[in-house]
Amino acid sequence: MIKPHGSDALNPLFVYEQDKHHELSSEAENLPSLMLNSAAAANAVMLGAGYFNPLTGYMNVADAMSVAERMHTTDGLFWPTPVMNLTNNIEAIKGHKRIALRDPNVEGHPVLAVMDVDDIEEISEKEVNFIVEKVYRTTDAEHPGAATFNALGKYAISGSIQVLNFSYFQQDFPDTFRTAVEIRNDIAERGWKKIVAFQTRNPMHLAHEELCHMAMDRLGCDGLVIHMLLGKLKKGDIPAPVRDAAIRKMVELYFPPNSAMVTGYGFDMLYAGPREAVLHAVFRQNMGATHFIIGRDHAGVGDYYGAFDAQTIFEEEVPAGALDIEIFKADHTAWSKKLDKVVMMCEAPDHSKEDFILLSGTKVREMLSEGKAPPPEFSRPEVAKILIDYYQSL
């Protein structure tokens, strides 16, 4: 199986050993506490699950700046985006070297992790702006990722962590949330050797389904991991349980047995376009995928990124050998009226826009809200029904 990023074996930061887990949990109740923001909590979940291998905790300001500028930590590890624990309030933890990190997203705010504090640094507005501009390629306050990062806090708490739970993800998505460890184990049990991963934060329409089939066929893959983001999105995005149900129905009906796995991971969307595409590739290598589909405007939002910036970054900015996972570059896919099938638009040069069945997201939402299914060339009827039920329940 493909090696994880940066190490020979996966090193998740979740404490699996039962006695050690109990001991840490007891200790944490008497430690000074820091209430995390949602971004720092999601980072802890990803560290615990092994997706952020080989990181051992939160970055300091020097590492965050180095990663923003050149996609390497100060000691040379390739990494595309800062992994930070930022806050505005350090009163309760000032002067302490060991603290409990509490979950902002679960009632009662249980301890999410225990942290050994290396440093508490004040991060300047200039440094924040530098990170935002490099990672998000904009400082526009309207960009959801940039706006979120700007609001996280002026103090950076760095150091290693030991993770005690996976926040709300295991409870809310017991059939879908999987750690990188669990996905690697599942891949091994299924006997898959060549695996392609597909990232989604939306339900999958027919074009997405066919893109996965195309990638599997062209790469000679024996397995597909549909890996959906289960964390916070932006206003108007379809909730994870609805996406989950729609995708599972599609796989059940339109993929051969033991060819596709539906999973999810606990992270908040960054909307960082090209940089986030590279981060997504790191996740997928760590969970055991050998290939990763990157399509048009991957992890983008609005008009902040070029259509294929998330692909060209792998050629222009990711150093050779930095990652072992291979990228499957995809264009927009749509139903061709001429060919009577879904094609990549770049592979149909004799087509005009009118030769494809194209529906805007706004138009699809309008149809679903009115109880109308999109045409079968756009969406499987069984998937459309699940989405119609959701929109009509609003």
Mean pLDDT, residues 372-389 taken together: 95
Question: What one-character-per-residue DSSP string does 300-358 give?
Answer: --TTSS-TTHHHHHHHHTSPTTS--SEEEE---EEEETTTTEEEEGGG-TT--GGGEE-
Domain annotation covers residue 56: yes
Q: Are residues 377 and 296 in the same domain?
A: yes
Residue 242: pLDDT over 80: yes
pLDDT for 360 equals: 86
Domain annotation covers residue 152: yes
Domain boundary pick from 116, 149, 167: 167
Q: Are residues 292 and 254 in the same domain?
A: yes
pLDDT for 233 equals: 64
State pLDDT tens for residues 300-319.
999 999 999 999 999 999 99
Q: Are residues 214 and 156 in the same domain?
A: no
Mean pLDDT, residues 4-33 taken together: 97
Q: Are residues 183 and 140 in the same domain?
A: no
Instruction: Give the global pTM.
Output: 0.94
Residue 62: pLDDT over 70: yes
Rounded Cα distance, 219 and 237, in Å: 31
Domain boundary pick from 167, 186, 204: 167
Q: Are residues 380 and 232 in the same domain?
A: yes
Q: Are residues 146 and 230 in the same domain?
A: no
Q: Please report which confidence band the pLDDT of residue 234 belongs to, taking 50, 70 and 90 as the band edges.
A: low
Q: Please report which confidence band the pLDDT of residue 237 belongs to, taking 50, 70 and 90 as the band edges.
A: confident
Domain annotation covers residue 9: no
- The closest of 194, 224, 161, 180 to 34, measured between CA atoms, is 161
More confident residue, 243 or 77: 77
Q: Are residues 131 and 233 in the same domain?
A: no
Q: Are residues 202 and 149 in the same domain?
A: no
State pLDDT tens for residues 326-343.
999 999 999 999 999 999
Token pair of 14 as six digits: 């979740």
Domain annotation covers residue 69: yes
- The closest of 201, 205, 208, 226 to 292, measured between CA atoms, is 226
Q: pLDDT exceeding 90 applies to what percent of the chain?
A: 92
Q: Please report which confidence band the pLDDT of residue 70 belongs to, taking 50, 70 and 90 as the band edges.
A: very high
The CATH number covering residue 106 comes to: 3.10.400.10
Q: Please report which confidence band the pLDDT of residue 361 belongs to, taking 50, 70 and 90 as the band edges.
A: confident
Q: Are residues 163 and 184 in the same domain?
A: no
Q: Please report which confidence band the pLDDT of residue 325 belongs to, taking 50, 70 and 90 as the band edges.
A: very high
Least confident of 68-72, 85-89, 242-246: 242-246
Q: Are residues 42 and 163 in the same domain?
A: yes
What does the mean pLDDT of the chain come to? Answer: 95
Rounded Cα distance, 333 and 206, in Å: 9
For residue 183, what are the domain limits? 175-265+271-393
Residue 133: pLDDT over 90: yes
- The residues assigned a catalytic role are 201-202
Domain count, the chain: 2
Residue 378: pLDDT over 90: yes
pLDDT for 85 equals: 98
Domain boundary pick from 167, 183, 202: 167
Token pair of 55 as six digits: 């990181």
Residue 52: pLDDT over 80: yes
Q: Are residues 216 and 134 in the same domain?
A: no
Residue 236: pLDDT over 80: no
Domain annotation covers residue 335: yes
Is the alpha carbon torsion for 219, 222, 228, 229 positive or negative?
negative
Q: Are residues 189 and 328 in the same domain?
A: yes
The CATH number covering residue 251 comes to: 3.40.50.620
